[in-house]
Structure 1
Amino acid sequence: MLLPLLLCYSAFTALCLAMPQHYEELLGHKASARRRQYLKLAGWLLLGLSLWAAVASKGWSFGLVDWCAMLMFSALTLVLLLPYRPRLALTMAGASLLASPVAAWALN
């Protein structure tokens, strides 16, 4: 269940960065409207991929339950990291995006 967790955390970070105040606070400059749209799209696509990964690994019954748990855990992690360690939150999102192909390969 590592792959859905990595994808959920990256998705929530992308959705967080799609908000103007979070983007400016974390990256130091304003985002264009087009970049915010791309971040929203990327966030929702990553959430969809995480659902697919959870269902593919454990089936619909247990996969949905595990996916909901991964959603809550990744959102809680991001919410707790943002006020105190914002750079760590961004670093973890980048690392999870880089590690997700390895986790996908490990599934097979």
Structure 2
Amino acid sequence: MLLALLLCYAGFTALCLAMDRHHVELLGRKASPRRRQGLRLGGWLLLALSLWPAVAVTEWGLGLVQWCAMLMLSAALLVLLLPYRPRLVLSLAGLSLLASPVVALTQ
């Protein structure tokens, strides 16, 4: 389930950065339309990919419930960190992208 959580957090962070307000707040510059589109696509792909480890561990019935819980937990973490520790949001997203292949190999 850790892999699903890491992918969900990275996906939600990418979707967050696809919004102009958050992109300026976190990175200090406005995103180009091409970058926004890439971040949206990457975010949705990461969220869709996070379904696989949740369902692979358990069957579809329980896997979907656990996946929804991982979605809510990662979104809540992002929403709580964004106003108070915006730099930590980016650090955790990068860390989750770096740690997800390691976690995938250990499962």
When normalised by structure 1's length, the TM-score is 0.97
CA apart distance, 1:96: 0.3
The C-alpha deviation readout for 1:6-29, integer Å capped at 9, x for no partner, is 000000000000001100111000
What is the aligned-residue RMSD (CA, Å)? 0.5
Task: Give the aligned residue type for 1:48.
Answer: A
The C-alpha deviation readout for 1:68-103, integer Å capped at 9, x for no partner, is 000000000000000000000110000000000011
1:33-72 residue pairs with structure 2 within 5 A?
33-72=33-72
The C-alpha deviation readout for 1:28-52, integer Å capped at 9, x for no partner, is 0011000000000000000011011
Cα distance between partner residues in 2 of 1:30 and 1:46? 23
- Unmatched segments (≥5 aa) in structure 2: none
Aligned to 2:20: 20
Count of residue correspondences: 107
- Unmatched segments (≥5 aa) in structure 1: none
SS in 1 for 2:31: coil
Aligned to 1:82: 82
Task: Give the aligned residue type for 1:41.
Answer: L
